[in-house]
Structures are given as structure tokens and as C-alpha cells.
Amino acid sequence: MVRADRRGPRRRPLIAKAALASGAALLALIGVELVLQLYVRVIADDRNLLRSRTAVQAEASWTVYDKDLGWGNRPGVQLIDHFPTEPGDVRINAQGLRADRDFTPQPPEGRRRVLALGDSFTFGFDVGNGLDWPTRIEALEPQLEVLNLGVCAYGLDQIVLAYERAAARFEHDFVVLGFLNWDVNRATNDFTASGYSRPLFRVRRGRLALTNVPVPPPRPPGSARFGSLMLARYWRTMLVNREVHRFIDRPATSQSWKLGRLLLRRLKASAEAAGARLAVVDIPWFGHLETIDRPMLKFVPRLFTEEGIDYMDLHPLFRERIAHEQLYITPQGGHCSPAGYALIAAQALELIRRVPVQP
């Protein structure tokens, strides 16, 4: 006698219910997507409303695609009176460095060489050649030759990779990083609103793993990194904002700072391998001068101390001087003014003088 399989009739209603629920959920998602598309494209009239808020516009006038770093300074650029300062020129030498001359592999006889690293605050955005803090160090101490490796909108990951490339080309004694805390957060994003992508380090088993290299060519500015679906872009923005809050208010739990610590260790090790000594000047954002009790601002000095990196925090000095000098390009902030960059140069030189040279 053949027994009837009782599982079949029971399973069919369950499958039908699951399919119905899945279909309803899909229709709901489609409805939400249509509402978001209507709001962004018609009501708000802003197709990039939900793009990543941490994306930064690279300075297109002197920016060129780089398959290893994402972008860099375009060699040979000459922009006359680009900024309102006097001088206001932007000149990039044939080696892609902001300078009025090219550099030999070895420093001139009798001089020590410094490689200055960083983002737009090291590049000297908003001021002309000669007013950036790396060049001002040379004016204060002629026995030093300082190469400005700053590139606008760089994250700490690109800063480290750019240094390792330069260290193979130029002999040097010192490495000075113009550090801004947001450079660490930038390193977690592989795409910017300018359309440029960047190399991306991942932390795997406590070690750095480099991905997204070669870096994809740039897209048109404002392109959507995650396609045209508003739900995907909104979800990504929520994740980015969540990490930003951790980065500021709970740095010990932030993935950005965990990645940043490993990048700083790599930078220190690379400098020592090149026979140079690493030192860091912590340059303040204007908005951080008014808040002295944010967890991040207390976390950063402790981080450099724990990693054994020579470090100078410029926040206290900027707070003291900003009441008497215009240290930023506008009273509301922005990049540094000529006076602000001059202050960074003087403090960086003081730090260099007290840092022992590697044997």
C-alpha cells in the first residue's frame, strides 16, 4: 500500500504565503524608491542630495588622475593670481610638487631635507606659492630644504602611499605630517563627489590590505557612486553618518581610528626604513577651536603618544592667537590665512629642531 505524501499540500500554502509577502515587500520598496526619486528630482531639484557627505571636491585646475593614488598634482601647472593673496600664483613643478623649482635625488651639500606631507592645508590652499607652511620653513631655516608633498583632499591612506613613492625618489632626514583628524575619516571612503576614486585599505586580521588598485578612472563630477537607486544611496549615507558620529564622540570604537592607527604605524615604519624621523603637527579645523572637550580632541594626542610619534598639538596655540590674528582665510574659517600658515611653519620648525636625526 502506497502512503500519500502529506508534506506536499502543506508546503504549497506556505510557499504561496512567502511569495505573497516577498512580493508585497518588493512593491513597498519600489514605492519608497519612487517617492524618493520624485522628491530628489522634482521637489528638491537636487539629483545629488543623498550623496556621501564626506566626499570632498578635488581641485580640478591642477588635478590629474593617478592609477595608484587616485589623483595628484598635475606637473607643470602655472596659474597666475589664482588666489587673492600676494603672491597668489599656483605653480607645480615637473615632479608634481608645489614648488618653483625641481629637486635632485640628494639634498644640496650642507643642507638637510624635509618631506612635508598632508592634504590641502599642507599644499597651501587659498594662498600663493611661497606662503604655504613647508616653503616658509625654508625661509626661517636656510639649512633645511623642504619638499611640499601636500595634495588637496587627500586622506591619510593616500598621504602614506604618496610618501612611500617620494621616499624612493628623494633622500631625506625628516618627515613632517601636517595632520588633520578628518584625513583619517577620509581614508574609509573610496569615492569622492568630484568623481575621483581613491585606493582603499582594509583591516584584515589586524593588518592593512590595499584594495581598489589600480584606482578606477574618474567619473563626471557629481556621479552617483552607488548607482541611481536612492534607497542604496540613502542607506550608504546613513552608514557614513553613523561612522562620523563614532569618529567624533566615541573614537575608541571608530573603524576610522582603528584604520588610522595602522596607517600611522606604517608611515612611521616607512620613514625609519628610509633613515628619516617622523614628526607630526596637528593642525586645527576652525570649528574645533571652540570645543575643547570633544572626545576626539582628547583621543588624538594620546594616540600619537602610544605610537611613539613626535607630536605637537597646535590647537592650544591657535585658540590663544586667534583672538588677535586672522589665522584663517575668512573670519568664519576655511583654510589658513598667510598668518595661519606662518604659525604652522614656526611650530613645525621648532618640532624639527628638537627631533633627533635617525643614525
Give residue 304's Cα distance to chain centre: 18
Q: What is the pLDDT of residue 54?
A: 35
Burial class of residue 104 (count of CB atoms within 10 Å of its CB; 0-12, 13-18, 19+): exposed
Total residues found in the chain within this entry? 359
- Cell (9 digits) for 285: 579645523
Indicate if the alpha-carbon torsion angle 125, 131, 137, 142 is positive or negative. Answer: positive
Contacts with 167 (C-beta within 8 Å, 6 or more apart), sequence order? 115, 270, 271, 273, 274, 276
Question: Three-state SS for 282?
Answer: strand
How far apart, in whole angstroms, are the C-alpha atoms of residue 266 and residue 208?
9
Quick check: helix, strand or coil at residue 178? strand
Grid coordinates of 142 = 636656510
Nearest alpha-carbon partner for 123 in 319, 358, 347, 344: 344
Q: What is the pLDDT of residue 94?
A: 98
Instruction: Give buried/exposed letters for 149-176 (b at 16+ CB in 10 A, else e).
Output: bbbbbbbbbbbbbbbebbbeebebbbbb
Q: For residues 232 and 241, what is the distance between their CA atoms, to the nearest angstrom?
A: 14
**Torsion angle, CA of 183/173/164/343, rounded to 10 degrees?**
20
Class of residue 109 by CB neighbours under 10 A (exposed 0-12, middle 13-18, buried 19+): exposed
Alpha carbon distance 177, 149 (integer Å) = 10
Q: Which three cell numbers stand for residue 268?
A: 612611521
**142: helix, strand or coil:** coil
Name the grid cell of 12.
Answer: 504549497
Residues 6+ apart with CB under 8 A from 189: 52, 54, 55, 155, 198, 240
pLDDT in the model for residue 56: 45
State the angle between helix axes of 230-249 and 7-38 in degrees (0 to 180), rounded to the nearest 10.
80
* Amino acid at site 188: T
What phi and psi values does residue 285 have, to the nearest 5 degrees?
Answer: -75, 150
- Tell me what pLDDT residue 51 has: 43
Digit-by-digit pLDDT tens for the chain (359 residues) are 555 555 555 666 888 877 888 888 788 777 766 776 666 566 655 544 444 433 345 588 899 999 999 999 999 999 999 999 999 999 999 999 999 999 999 999 999 999 999 999 999 999 999 999 999 999 999 999 999 999 999 999 999 999 999 999 999 999 999 999 999 999 988 767 677 899 999 999 989 999 999 999 987 765 555 556 767 766 777 777 788 889 989 999 999 999 999 999 999 999 999 999 999 999 999 988 887 788 999 999 999 999 999 999 999 999 999 999 999 999 889 999 999 999 999 999 999 999 876 65
pLDDT for the residue 244: 83
**Can you list the alpha helix ranges (DSSP code H) found in the chain?**
7-38, 120-123, 133-140, 156-167, 182-186, 230-249, 255-273, 295-306, 315-321, 338-354
Residue listed under C-alpha cell 500500500: 1
Amino acid at position 257, single letter: W
Q: What is the pLDDT of residue 32?
A: 67
Q: 296 is written with which cell numbers?
A: 576626539
Going by C-alpha positions, the residue among 126, 136, 128 that lies closest to residue 176 is 136
Cβ pair 129, 91 in contact under 8 A:
yes
Do residues 353 and 176 make contact, with C-beta atoms less than 8 angstroms apart? no
